[in-house]
Structure 1
Amino acid sequence: MAQRRSTLPSYALSVLTTMVLAGAATPIPAVAASSASTRSTVTAVPTTGVRFVNITGVGVVLKANVVAPATTGQYPAIIFPASWGLNDLEYLAQAKALAARGYVVVSYTPRGWWSSGGEIDTAGPKDMADLTKVIDWTIANTGTDPTRIGAGGISYGAGLSLLGSAFDPRIRAVAVMSGWTDLTYSLYADSTRHQQSSGLLKLAADLLGNAGPELTGKLNDFAANRNIDEIITWAGVRSAASYLNEINANQPAVLIANAWGDSFFPPNQLIDFYGRLTGPKRLELRPGDHAIAEFTGILGLENEVWTNVYRWFDQHLAGIDTGISQEPPVLLRPHNAAVETYPNWPAPQTRRYGLGEIRWIDGTGLLGGAPSSGWSKGLPTDRDTTANGGVVLLTNGVAAFTGKLPEVWLPSVDRLRAGVWAAQRPSTTQRIRGIPKLHLEVTGAAARGTLVAYLYDLDLLGNAKLITHAPVTWLGTGSGSRSVDVNLTATAYNLPAGHSLTLVVDTVDPLYYDENAAGGTITIGGGSYLDVPLV
């Protein structure tokens, strides 16, 4: 599919290109000196204009652009593969700013997208070979120091860059913004297919790229819920977690930045991957949805994520002491608290909240104490409630800018369709940090089924803010009793004094496909509990 380079895939990219080409983009400022120690400052250097080039990949031509320091010499280089559905214009603001800091910057459109040749490989072996070819071209055609090469990007570009560091040891630093480490988890977290996010990925591929029979077949199989083993194998080849040993052997410096509410690549996979990295590493999590936290940086505006990306590259490629290596490597921006840093992923105390019998007077059970027995709550399998995870990109994206989490008035949650359990109101703030884990004892369920759990902050007026949620699906061979465990999406949230931690469980959420047969019932019973990580 031949697309004109000047045609833009979305309104956001239209804004970006207009700002950059009009000269309105403002480069992110040099790193400020820290009071903790003396840092080297970055002095701006003259740069070349944007030069559009063709780079020969493996059997295809890749469209790319280059911005570099104007003075002859050897410089560190950064490779930016474009995001899913976008092209090499995406990073012009960052390319100009980085070139002014003394970097050669090459941005390229991966195969199958826009005017680059071939079919979309979805971060497969051909994409990895192309990335190596781009590095070869950069060394041969620019003033690049081959010992100081980095790669980074947002979303698809992030995944390509991290995977590339497993296959090409010349990549010494990586910036992974809103990327994935486990594509199987991204598609099938807790065996539940993600409906809205996969639909948007397919729409972009159909409109803006050459999906080809492989990707088209996998997406069609995913939607139809068939050939699951083949999709999992295909996704495993495209997951950095599959090549962790190779990445650890190459020892690139890896910065991972993501959002608590990323509806494409939920952060639990990143936390696990970060913990198993052995080289220089950094993990940053902030409020928002996919690519939201770093979005203003794409427009050339000052942005916290991009500032730390620049510091990371300066530290590990340019030889500038920015201080980032001496800082605690885990940075968390909670939903409703100031930034916190930790030497490792937090290891909080776990508080177990047993699920108790539902009271007939208000249809709510007690959340707290030891798990109790002798009660049950039936949930219809084909009835939604007002409790939901929102709309992909929009709900958590808006929350990132407004600071207001998705909210529901708890009395509006139909107790005939959902189980609701509310904890006693604490006298002090409860600091939730980590991955809440829900264990449910289920009886009378079909062989296949889906539940969705929501954890809320409930105030005195019945307003409930969504702290985190997750679906869980079981794919058994027989009906009856079973234990169901689900890790809710990682979060950082301060439950205010006087508010109630509240759990809602139902069977339908528009974000996800479910495996429930119409007209059935799933019964939750005694022995169920919620483990909440508190610091």
Structure 2
Amino acid sequence: MPIDGAAENPFALAPDDIARLEAIRDAMLDPSPRRIGRLDQWGLADTYETQAEIAEYREAPIVMSDGTAIDAGLTVPRNLAPGQTCPVIVMPAPLNPLGRLAYFGMIPRWSLGGYIVLTYSQRGLAQSKGEIQCAGPQDVADGGEILNWLTQHEGVDPERIGCFGASYGAGTSLLLAAADPRVKAVAGASAWGDLFTSLYENGTRHIKAFEALVKLFDEERCSKEFRNVIDKIRRNIIDDEVKEFARLRSPMQHLKTYNERELPVLMTTYWHETIFSVPAVVDLFTGLQGPKSLLVQIGDHGNGELLGLFGGVSKPTEMAYRWMDHHLGGHAGDGSQPQFGIRSEYMHNLLSNLSHRDWAAYALPKQRFHLGAVPAGQQDAPMAAGQPQPGWTRSVQAAGPDTGIVVAPKLIQTGLAERTGLPHVYKTAEIKRDVAAVWTTAPLEQAMRVQGDLEARLTVKPQAENATFIAYLLDCDPATGRAGIITHAPYTLTDQQAATVTFRLQPAHYVLAAGRQLQLIVDSYDPFFADDNTIPSALEITSPQGSESYIDIPLAPLP
């Protein structure tokens, strides 16, 4: 899907996409031949002519108890028999200036499937009044009032209500479901599990993603509480207020409630997700005890569901239709049973489609690769199985912007390019070795796969009060020195103390060709993260006896 204004807003839609959504809204409000005919330029006239025949769409603000008007649209099947009731899909909006209009491409499928559909923009978003609460308790309370309003309508089956949302809408859906037992199933695309770890991973602020989201929220529309938290995060004041703000907005805190109700939960995420923590989504999925499904795709936040949101076919939306049909009794899907457990693609094969019953069955056993010293006459150190390698020290100078290694050159768009088979190429042979430490395996004798959780242990001593370092695992071609990123993780140390730290990297599913090398790179700067290095200074990476440095990789031959 083309993106407009990417440098300023990685989430921005192309003008043609905006025009299409607005034309759909006009045709749904006034299904006259002239209005519907305008959709012919996108090949949608027949779809929305059928939509107008089978369902009625109307818009009206839903006024909350405090007087705040929430912008909403309701689609109800026509010609319901007396006493007939229908399953219902409630769709809180993604974080988008268009708000709930982003879902208009999905409404015909839900309508054809016999569903009543309610779309709404959360408080302060798009055309809704009030201040933005960032999926806070007020948004959850609003959701409850919206359900009260909805269940008063003829045709609504109060025992068959489900929530679908993308991104901001996914989080809102999960939080609403935890608070209100009337929600019987949830499907969340590009979901989050824990907001704090998404903002602050291993003591490191995800500043680039944070600022992109804040710009999309529009600070002037945010509540005083939210603006205060924004200011504190910018100033690196991560106190109890910030932690509590994030906790109240984290589905993970409701795990017990989900399990007591055996709530059916479908979530989707990405291997190269740069907005929300993938380990936290995996942890939430693993902890769920009711019906559950997790889809992990190639790319970054929102990449995979875009086409489905606009009315096309995508894995996240097709899975959502089947999920709701199974649990609510509609028929929006293709008639197939939903996918339970884990469904995944591996990088970078968009046509791949693997299934596993749970994360334990999915993740390969880890192999430990010990990090060694730089041999005489060479610039890089070995990374190999076998015996631990103690006794070495490597110095990494303050990197600045010239390492050439970053998590993603562009939020969202780097992942979108991966989905089209064009992953970013890293020129690791050109990295200045004084600003990065590099460890490399021998060339692989056969094709291998990385599949599951990764973990590293390093002993690091900063030469200033605070110091950030970032570890990247790459797939390198030894013939060219060019590489693709497999995974990464940041870490920030404080108090100028040497520390042995063990930390998770983002999980991965990556296929390596024979002859390639795994390459671990550690440096001290990435514009994706806040630069918490107190002053430009060096890091010392060591491997003391008994706490030798290593990386654990879930690696096995390709079947």
Aligned residue for 2:231, secondary structure, equals helix
One-letter code of the match for 1:532? I
Q: Which residue of 2 aligns with 1:39?
A: none
Aligned residue for 1:473, secondary structure, equals strand
One-letter code of the match for 1:374? G
Q: 1:123-151, CA deviations, whole angstroms, 9 ceiling, x for partnerless residues?
A: 11110111111112121124111100000
Q: How many residues get paired? A: 510
1:11 and 2:14 are equivalent in the alignment? yes
Contact 1:429 1:497 in 2 (8 A): yes
Q: Which residue of 2 aligns with 1:357?
A: 373
Q: Which residue of 2 aligns with 1:50?
A: 57
1:44 is displaced (CA, Å) by 9.3
Q: 1:254-307, CA deviations, whole angstroms, 9 ceiling, x for partnerless residues?
A: 100111111111311110000000111000000111111101112211212211
Q: 1:80-131, CA deviations, whole angstroms, 9 ceiling, x for partnerless residues?
A: 0111133121111111221111100000010011221211111111101111
1:50 is displaced (CA, Å) by 2.7
1:489 and 2:500 are equivalent in the alignment? no
Contact 1:166 1:250 in 2 (8 A): no
Q: Which residue of 2 aligns with 1:36?
A: none
Q: Which residue of 1 aligns with 2:532?
A: 515
Q: 1:357-382, CA deviations, whole angstroms, 9 ceiling, x for partnerless residues?
A: 12353411101123302211101134
One-letter code of the match for 1:52? E
1:482 is displaced (CA, Å) by 0.9
Task: Tell me the TM-score normalized by structure 2.
Answer: 0.87
How large is the Cα RMSD of the aligned pairs?
2.3
Separation in 2 of the partners of 1:313 and 1:328?
A: 13
One-letter code of the match for 1:531? D
Q: Which residue of 2 aligns with 1:61?
A: 69
Q: Which residue of 2 aligns with 1:164?
A: 176
Aligned residue for 1:488, secondary structure, equals strand
Q: Which residue of 2 aligns with 1:114?
A: 126
1:51-450 mapped onto 2 (5 Å cutoff): 51-59=58-66, 60-72=68-80, 73-86=84-97, 87-206=99-218, 210-318=221-329, 322-325=335-338, 327-337=339-349, 338-345=352-359, 346-369=362-385, 370-384=387-401, 385-390=403-408, 391-400=410-419, 402-443=420-461, 445-450=463-468
Contact 1:379 1:507 in 2 (8 A): yes
1:533 and 2:549 are equivalent in the alignment? no
Separation in 1 of the partners of 2:463 and 2:367?
A: 28
**Residues 357/218 of structure 1: CA separation in 2 closer, same or farther (3 Å cut):** same
Identity %, equivalent residues = 29
1:57 is displaced (CA, Å) by 2.4
Q: Which residue of 2 aligns with 1:40?
A: none
1:20-39 mapped onto 2 (5 Å cutoff): 20=24, 21=27, 22-23=38-39, 24=42
1:464-503 mapped onto 2 (5 Å cutoff): 464-475=483-494, 478-503=495-520
1:486 is displaced (CA, Å) by 2.2
State which drifts further: 245-254 or 280-289. Answer: 245-254
One-letter code of the match for 1:84? L
Separation in 2 of the partners of 1:112 and 1:292?
A: 25
1:413 is displaced (CA, Å) by 1.0
Contact 1:16 1:90 in 2 (8 A): no
Runs of 5+ consecutive residues of structure 1 not aligned to the other structure:
1-7, 30-42
Task: Tell me the TM-score normalized by structure 1.
Answer: 0.90
Aligned residue for 1:93, secondary structure, equals coil
Aligned residue for 2:506, secondary structure, equals coil
Separation in 2 of the partners of 1:74 and 1:146?
A: 9
One-letter code of the match for 2:78? A
**Residues 453/411 of structure 1: CA separation in 2 closer, same or farther (3 Å cut):** same
**Residues 249/295 of structure 1: CA separation in 2 closer, same or farther (3 Å cut):** same
Separation in 2 of the partners of 1:469 and 1:451?
A: 11
Q: Which residue of 2 aligns with 1:461?
A: 480
Separation in 2 of the partners of 1:105 and 1:186?
A: 31
Separation in 2 of the partners of 1:271 and 1:132?
A: 28
Q: Which residue of 1 aligns with 2:35?
A: none
1:26 is displaced (CA, Å) by 5.5
1:178 is displaced (CA, Å) by 0.5
**Residues 443/89 of structure 1: CA separation in 2 closer, same or farther (3 Å cut):** closer
Q: 1:381-417, CA deviations, whole angstroms, 9 ceiling, x for partnerless residues?
A: 34340111122112122212x2232221111111010
